[in-house]
Structure 1
Amino acid sequence: MNLIIVKYNAGNIQSVLYALERIGAEAVVTDDHEKIKSADKVIFPGVGEASSAMRYLKERGLDVLLKSLTQPVLGVCLGMQLMCKYSEENDTKCIGIFDEEVKQFKPTDKSIKVPQIGWNNIYNLKTDLFKGLADNSYCYFVHSYYAALGAHTIATTNYVQPYSSGLHRDNFYGVQFHPEKSAQVGESILKNFIEM
């Protein structure tokens, strides 16, 4: 199994590698176009800020490359947001795999903190990415921006309002939470992705 993690200037790659190790999978971290194209599966992680991440991807042609991939691709957190068409974070045009727009949480209730940090449940689960998982399983989130509900939503979470915690289109999948920090549930999701 040739598993690639896309290398770009948005951290959390080490924790993804550890999580894969725990389920017996090895991955190579690279931004090499040929290696990414020839991978069986590609993970596109991300923690950070949308506009600087998109600038880095564009400078290296990775935005065009990612959109052209035909093998299963999993975007995580910022990775999923960058796969949408637009982010309100610094008014950023993104890769455009998913039609959804990424917006900032704007709670009217002052007791609701932004960013959302911690465990929350995912429900209305669709596709084999969530095979074997119960509705309302808990995952770990850290984010101030969210993808709106839309045609590609495969998991929903409620914080301030319902939003997409999972997206899917063709061979592309995205999750807003961190599977690498979501205990057994996260490991099941990574396993499901690898076994696709």
Structure 2
Amino acid sequence: MADEEKPKTWWQTLPGIITSLTAAITAIAGLVVAFKQAGWIGSPPPAQPPSVTAPASSSSQAPAVAAAPASSTRTSHAVTLPAMRDYKLGLVTFTLLSAEVSPQTSEKDALRIRLRMMNNDAYDTNFWDRSFRLLVDGVPTAPESDLNELVRARSAKEGTVLFVVPHGTAAGNLEVSHHDEQTSIPLAFAAPR
């Protein structure tokens, strides 16, 4: 007679059992995650504080008004730019477009300087924060902006450089550098009277 089929021992089916259990656990875990994300199980998300949506006549609005920064009473103002606006450094020309001082905190102001960089070179070049420093009372400060652009050959781009200065700063010098060349531009920050 032909080979009779022998019954399999439980050792031969153990991998099948483990695979089935793994698949079942994975499916259950997936369902639990889906139910939690849908908000069907678990704790509800925290409610927004009532002062966020409370009407203006509510007493809960008073602390928010009292917590407003003192800088909100100060206003932004334009910085008077020098008569010379174009500064050529090698094959690159920086043009001052505008500058503005605005309150940031009760002790600090934000100085935003808008510039254009014209790249007259045959190669691309960087237009970035590294090219600028602000000297206030002889102390250099790096920008707090994230200007980092690539200006293609024979083209121009505009960007804004942000400096944080102590409130009441009257003047400073913007240092602009490109490769080995550098220039210093005097700026008066005082608000017009």
Greater helix share, 1 or 2?
1
Which TM-score band (shorter chain)?
under 0.3
Greater strand share, 1 or 2?
2
- Give TM-score scaled by structure 2 length: 0.18
Which is greater in Rg?
Answer: 2
- Give TM-score scaled by structure 1 length: 0.18
Which gives a bigger RCO, structure 1 or 2 (Cα 8 Å, sep 6+)?
1
